[in-house]
Amino acid sequence: MRTLYVGDVHGCSAELKRLLKLARPARVVLVGDLFTKGPDALGVWKLIQRYEAEAVLGNHDQHVLRRWARDGRQLGLPDSARSWLKRLPLFIEEPGRVVVHAGLHPELGLAGTSREMALFMRRFPGRSERDPFWYQGWKGPEQVIFGHDAMRGLVRGPYHLGLDTGCVYGGVLTGWLAEEDRILQVPAAEVYRPV
């Protein structure tokens, strides 16, 4: 099986379509932040449906759900997208691997990871910009696949892989073919949102 893990899409449907065509995956797993900021939330939704993609909830996905509850339709997305978003987990656990949007508690793992950490954490304990990034303290044994931090770009270590490479900011959309241990990248067609 060809499994493709994809960094933060943020409404960049053209780039996601190109990445999927390049990878030809049997399974697609998205690390969250799917629809906001970029140009084509509905196009992303159609690709999610077509590929029966799995995903974890991202902080921007949570924001979309909260706004949807207040204002009705969001970003031109149908109600089926809302229902799907509401069912997204914070984590996808697989043998030897965990997918999360932002991060895991570096010492306690899943058991010590709060919702806030899963959606927003970059540094641990996170009280200061001098604190280390959470993954610098993560010793495994599971490999953690995450997004959420476009400023760092592709981040790779023995037990972590950060895939947010800022496509919506004019960077690239990054995917990882797990079985081949291969990184694939598609450049953004334009800067959709200035940094």
Please write the tens of the pLDDT for every residue from 55-81: 999 999 999 999 988 887 678 899 999
Question: Residue 195 — pLDDT band, cuts 50, 70, 90?
Answer: confident
> How much is the pLDDT for 75?
85
Is this prediction's pTM over 0.95? yes
> How much is the pLDDT for 193?
95
> How much is the pLDDT for 69?
84
Confidence check: pLDDT of 177 > 90: yes
Please write the tens of the pLDDT for every residue from 132-175: 999 999 999 999 999 999 999 999 999 999 999 999 999 999 99
User: Which domains does the chain show, CATH number per domain?
Assistant: 3-91+150-187 (3.60.21.10)
> How much is the pLDDT for 153?
96
> How much is the pLDDT for 1?
86
> How much is the pLDDT for 70?
84
Peptide bond preceding 141: is omega within 30 degrees of 0, i.e. cis?
Answer: yes
> How much is the pLDDT for 60?
97
Average model confidence (pLDDT) across the chain: 96
Mean pLDDT to the nearest integer, 105-133: 96
Confidence check: pLDDT of 110 > 80: yes
